[in-house]
Structure 1
Amino acid sequence: MMEAAAPSGSPFVAVDGRDLKACADGECEVLVRTGDQIPNDGGAGPLSVAIQAGRVGLAPASGGMGEAVSGPPGMVHRINRQEIVVVAVQGSEGIIRLSKK
């Protein structure tokens, strides 16, 4: 599902910085890079990150959501009770926001 998503601040200033463990409860905004593993108990399960061509890709890690999602800044995807937003992408880094709905 694609919807507009407003950044929470200046590009590449994530609320939780690079603290991926902040996502463990399913609520965070973090700076991600390819290869990152995001702990997540918000509905989508643990996530594996890949960034390519201005898009953030998230795939299940260790029995996660079941299907991969990918999108440019502004992409909003809902899985179970979780919302995943691609806030921004620049080069090999991106900002994603996870929240429970």
Structure 2
Amino acid sequence: MRRATVLLTAFLLLWTAGAVRPDPATAAPPPLTAANGRNFAACKDGRCEVIVRTGDRLPTSTGTARVVVGRGVVRFTVTTANTSLMASGTAGSRLQLNRQVIVVLKVTRLQARVRLSRV
């Protein structure tokens, strides 16, 4: 009887320990962070590092860029009275809209971390 109790206790401990650990494939990724967070006002001079999401309007030296994030890709579209510029890329991409450089640092399902600088 004592042996059965010890075995049952060991089984329950192992089973419980396995149930507590999250499956890495389904665990939520950690949130993205950036030097300027979601403070787009920091981008007015064309230099910042921010987190962007679909629907955001990001001020750049070229104009205000509309942002779309999805499936590992981030897309920026700047439309002015006479022209429309579009650039898209995955993590590691270096995009350029006129004199505005956008480096895509990381893209998740819903957001991206980007760094803006000027040429």
Name the CA distance, whole Å, in 2 between partners of 1:80 and 1:50.
Answer: 19
User: After TM superposition, where is structure 1 displaced by more than 3 Å over at least 4 residues in a row?
Assistant: none
- SS in structure 2 of the partner of residue 86 of structure 1: strand
Partner of 2:17: none
Larger radius of gyration: 2
Percent identity (aligned): 39
Name the CA distance, whole Å, in 1 between partners of 2:105 and 2:63.
Answer: 19
Partner of 1:66: 84
- Greater Cα shift, 11-20 or 28-37: 11-20
Residue-by-residue CA offset, 1:13-65 (whole Å, 9 max, x unaligned) = 2110010111111101100110000122x2x321010001100010115x187
1:23 is aligned to 2:40: no
1:78 is aligned to 2:96: yes
Q: CA RMSD in A?
A: 2.0
TM-score, with normalisation over the residues of structure 2? 0.67
Number of equivalent positions: 89
More contact order relative to length (CA 8 Å, sep ≥ 6): 1
User: Higher helix share goes to which structure?
Assistant: 2
In the alignment, structure 1 segments of 5+ residues that lack a partner are 1-10
Residues 91 and 104 in structure 2, CA contact (< 8 A), matched pair in contact too: yes
